[in-house]
A = this chain, B = another copy of it.
């Protein structure tokens, strides 16, 4: 592989000059031509590692997601596209919804000297991230927030999303509404829970605590919890599942149990994927603006890396939207009776 020295020799100039044309600084036009010619002739490509060593920048940003499933990968795709267009590259890592592994992956990215970090935190504490931030690496939280840290974040208004879902059910006449939710230590879980409660408060109705279930965001736990709910002596005629993967699990359970939606059970899910549209029946769901989330996250981290700290700590609260499809129909007394 030819180095900058080879180019310099061939063009009859110093390495400094070559470096200058490489970085678009001003040089005499004649010299630039010579250098460019030498670069082309030798097939020279600058060595990013050497450059990074000197400049302390890697033109790379890291993204730690809790899983490689469709939701976060769709966000990652948007982020990658935007960052690529700024000639940054993206390293996506999987924390497996596990705080220890998250710490581990973050450490790895920091050791790789990424210029910035996008993180979907898996726990409620963030000492490891605060540290990194203090060392000067910009950090942007995506989808979830942590309490103990001043940090930029791109979030969805989960309270409002859950609120819309549950209000929809209330409006259809349901009073006994089941909730299948994710871990409360992560803000999405906690906020969706709050949204759920708030509807009851606002409508002056009492919640039936026994219909609330908390799992771990996984398909399995959605499946188990839905079976649990439907196995109750008096199962709820409507259920809100507050997370995409859990929604899949819940649908699977319902299918297996032969429960007919919406006849026997009204179901509201989360996120709009192929599956939710394809389902039989197509699912009423709270859909999150994934595209926008990716865009905001990418633009924000890019801005911070560029040293622009205006508005810190910035918080975006994107609005989710309730899409009404066929899995919810007005309440009928007989609902669920045949299942009991």
Chain A residues within 8 Å of B, Cβ to Cβ: 1, 45, 47-50, 52-53, 58, 60, 68-70, 73-74, 76-77, 80, 89, 91-94, 108, 111-113, 135, 219, 248, 251-252, 255, 274-275, 277-280
Which of B45, B70, B112, B248 makes the CB contact (< 8 A) with A69?
Answer: B70
Assess whether B45 is in contact with A111, with CB atoms less than 8 Å apart: yes
Q: List 23 A-B contacts (CB under 8 A).
A: A47-B53, A48-B112, A48-B113, A49-B49, A49-B52, A49-B58, A49-B113, A53-B53, A60-B112, A68-B73, A69-B73, A73-B73, A77-B94, A89-B93, A89-B108, A89-B112, A248-B278, A251-B278, A252-B277, A255-B278, A255-B280, A275-B275, A280-B280
Number of copies of this chain that the complex holds = 2
A176 to B280, CA, bound (A): 27
Question: Nearest chain B CB to A8's CB is how many angstroms away?
Answer: 19
A-B pairs, 3 with minimum CB distance: A68-B73, A280-B280, A252-B278
Taking CB atoms, residues of chain B closer than 8 Å to A135 are 1
The residues of B that contact A279 with a CB separation of less than 8 Å are 278, 280
Q: Which residues of B contact A52 (CB under 8 A)?
A: 49
The CA-CA distance from A69 to B311 in the complex, in Å, is: 35
Asked if residues B48 and A219 are in contact (CB atoms below 8 Å), the reply is no
List of B residues within 8 angstroms of A58 by Cβ: 49
Please determine whether A50 and B53 come into contact, CB atoms closer than 8 angstroms.
yes
- Within the complex, the shortest CB–CB distance from A136 to chain B, in Å, comes to 10
CB-nearest residue of chain B relative to A68? B73
Bound-complex Cα distance A91 to B45 (A): 21
Q: How far is the CB of A56 from chain B (nearest CB, A)?
A: 9
- Which B residue sits closest to A251, measured CB to CB? B278
CA distance A251 to B282 in the complex (A): 12
A328 and B271 CA atoms in complex are apart in Å by 30
The distance from the CB of A305 to the nearest CB of chain B, in whole angstroms, is 17
Complex-state Cα separation, A188 to B41, whole angstroms: 39
Partner pick for A252 among B60, B219, B252, B274, CB 8 A cutoff:
B274
Distance in angstroms from A315 CB to nearest chain B CB is 27
Chain B residue nearest to A50 in the complex (CB): B53
Instruction: Tell whether, in the assembled complex, residue B91 and residue A91 are in contact, meaning their CB atoms are under 8 Å apart.
Output: yes
On whether the beta carbons of B48 and A111 are closer than 8 Å, the reply is yes
Q: How far is the CA of A251 from the CA of B275 in the complex (A)?
A: 10
**Bound CA span A50–B53, Å:** 6
| A196 to B: closest C-beta gap in Å | 25
Per the bound structure, the CA–CA distance linking A91 and B109 in Å amounts to 11
In the bound assembly, the distance between CA atoms of A69 and B92 in angstroms comes to 14
A94 in contact with B68 (CB, 8 Å): no
In the complex, the answer to whether A76 meets B80 with C-beta atoms within 8 Å is no
Distance in angstroms between the alpha carbons of A251 and B77 in the assembled complex? 25
Give A74 to B91 CA distance when docked, in angstroms.
17
Contacts of A93 in B (CB 8 A): 80, 89
Q: Give the distance in Å from the alpha carbon of A219 to the alpha carbon of B273 in the complex.
A: 12
Smallest Cβ distance from A85 to chain B, in angstroms? 12
